[in-house]
Amino acid sequence: MDEVFAHLAVDFPHALFLRVEAEEQPEISEAYGVTAVPYFVFCKEGKPVDTLEGANPASLANKVAKLAGPANVAESAAPASLGVAAGPAVLEKGNPEEPRCGFSRKVVDILKQEGVEFGSFDILTDNEVREGLKKFSNWPTFPQLYCKGELLGGCDIVIAMHESGELKDVMKEHNIPLRQQGSKIEEPVISESANEQSTEAIGLTEAQKARLESLTNSNSVMIFIKGSPEEPKCGFSGKVVHILKQEKIPFSSFDILTDDEVRQGLKVLSNWPSYPQVYIKGELVGGSDVVMEMHKSGELKKVLTEKGIIQQESLEDRLKALISSSPVMLFMKGNPDNPRCGFSSEVVNALRGAGISFGSFDILSDEEVRQGLKTYSNWPTFPQLYYKSELMGGCDIVLELKKSGELKATLSE
């Protein structure tokens, strides 16, 4: 329990943790009614509000968290803190009426088919919550489905639970009422106006649907764009092609300008009104905005790895990519606007004072990177500053270069 107690003291730095030897401080033991050890007393504003007797790490952690509040971003991103923990909740891209990716749309459709009333939170509106949820649930992608605060899983798991009937059973176990629904997911209906013809109203024949599904499944990654990868006919298509090539992701493409039946039919099949459209193993991921966001957050590569389309990047390759992501790259505790240690703060101030642009990575957000860098560069502490992928050193070296007036010249050679 000593180790648990010590870890909690680190995780909740704004709370005061005191350790008392019961036999050596009998007056304190008597004051708090201690008759057996370990014994924990929780105080607020100087008054005891709760106690715990015995070695129970889980209870201790829960009581500390309840009293001291979220320990970090991950805890503050818990479903309960988002106001969606009372029942089923989807943490998704977009909202149930307008999902911003195909995986989110699929989960929403399944819940509607099952007759499940659910809450939702758009993770695109709050990046802090988005990143915190990944840590809170140890689940790297979205959407995420929760039931009464408990993670059920992502899109693939929800689909599997739906097909096996397990999803309905889980809802019943949690006393979630289900509305009576039809046996099939209803196709979304878009209202028609007098001056607008709805492609939804046309419908799809079985032959058309089979052709479209064959096209979307013709490669593990399939993009439907205007033009070709070599000559995109619109900026959005060009951006998606550029991202896939940059990530070295193998893909096939279809020029929707050459076949209007495919162009209009995909809008109906996937209920997605614009192009480009990106599919992974036949499932719509989304358009250019969604792909750009997934690329920026690293989620695109994670999804492709999970699907077995690309091999998992080795730690060494990942470190090399991070180090080379900016000519001047700082690995620090926290971020430049909110350093989490004095040494990191001093290096940030030195670089900014010299007018040097730099990238940064918060090593507190990724323990694998933190430990890996120590071995990779044979440098045991942080911050670490790199220039053109070469380690310059830590805080002392940066401050020495600043003092001698050589910092800017050294990082501009």
The CATH number of residue 351's host domain is 3.40.30.10
Judge if 330 and 393 occupy the same domain: yes
* Structure tokens that stand for 38 in this block: 């370990």
Q: In this predicted structure, what is the pLDDT of residue 58? A: 62
Q: In this predicted structure, what is the pLDDT of residue 82? A: 57
Residue pair 408/353 in contact (Cβ under 8 Å)? The answer is no
Name the pTM for this structure. Answer: 0.42
State the Cα angle at 51 between 45 and 53, rounded to 5°.
155
CB neighbours of 10 closer than 8 A, spacing ≥ 6?
Answer: none
User: Does residue 193 fall inside a structural domain?
Assistant: no
Buried b (16+ CB within 10 A) or exposed e, 355-367: ebebbbbbbbbee
User: Does residue 324 fall inside a structural domain?
Assistant: yes
Structural domain that includes position 241: 214-306
**To which H or E segment does residue 360 belong?**
strand 359-362
Judge if 278 and 224 occupy the same domain: yes
* Structure tokens that stand for 259 in this block: 């076949």
Judge if 364 and 396 occupy the same domain: yes
User: Does residue 55 fall inside a structural domain?
Assistant: yes
User: Does residue 181 fall inside a structural domain?
Assistant: no
Q: In this predicted structure, what is the pLDDT of residue 69? A: 59
Per DSSP, the chain holds a count of helices (H) and strands (E) of 19, 16
Residue pair 86/65 in contact (Cβ under 8 Å)? The answer is no
Instruction: Give the model confidence (pLDDT) of 214-235 as tens digits.
Output: 999 999 999 999 999 999 888 8
Residue pair 384/331 in contact (Cβ under 8 Å)? The answer is yes
User: Does residue 238 fall inside a structural domain?
Assistant: yes
Q: In this predicted structure, what is the pLDDT of residue 372? A: 93
Q: Helix H segments across 234-393?
A: 235-246, 260-270, 288-297, 299-306, 315-323, 342-353, 367-376
Domain termination residue (choose one: 271, 286, 306): 306
User: Does residue 205 fall inside a structural domain?
Assistant: no
Judge if 83 and 63 occupy the same domain: no
Judge if 83 and 67 occupy the same domain: no
Judge if 165 and 240 occupy the same domain: no
* Cβ atoms within 10 Å of 247's Cβ, excluding its own: 13
Q: How many domains does the chain have?
A: 4
Burial class of residue 98 in the structure, from the number of CB atoms within 10 Å of its CB (0-12 exposed, 13-18 middle, 19+ buried): exposed
Q: In this predicted structure, what is the pLDDT of residue 80? A: 53
Judge if 30 and 87 occupy the same domain: no
Alpha carbon distances (Å) from 310 to 102, 314, 319, 399: 20, 12, 18, 42
Judge if 67 and 86 occupy the same domain: no
Q: In this predicted structure, what is the pLDDT of residue 53? A: 86
Judge if 263 and 282 occupy the same domain: yes
DSSP 259: -
Q: Helix H segments across 44-154?
A: 57-68, 73-76, 102-114, 127-137
Q: In this predicted structure, what is the pLDDT of residue 179? A: 78
DSSP helix/strand/coil, 366 = coil
Q: Which residue carries 């079985």 as its tokens?
A: 206
Domain termination residue (choose one: 71, 90, 116): 71
User: Does residue 192 fall inside a structural domain?
Assistant: no
Residue pair 119/87 in contact (Cβ under 8 Å)? The answer is yes
Judge if 328 and 250 occupy the same domain: no
Judge if 323 and 405 occupy the same domain: yes
Residue pair 106/157 in contact (Cβ under 8 Å)? The answer is no
* Structure tokens that stand for 225 in this block: 């764009």
User: Does residue 128 fall inside a structural domain?
Assistant: yes
Judge if 19 and 41 occupy the same domain: yes
Q: In this predicted structure, what is the pLDDT of residue 218? A: 94
Which pairing describes strands 334-335 and 338-339: parallel, antiparallel, or unpaired? antiparallel
Domain termination residue (choose one: 71, 104, 119): 71
* Low-confidence residues in the chain, pLDDT < 50: 70-76, 83, 182-201
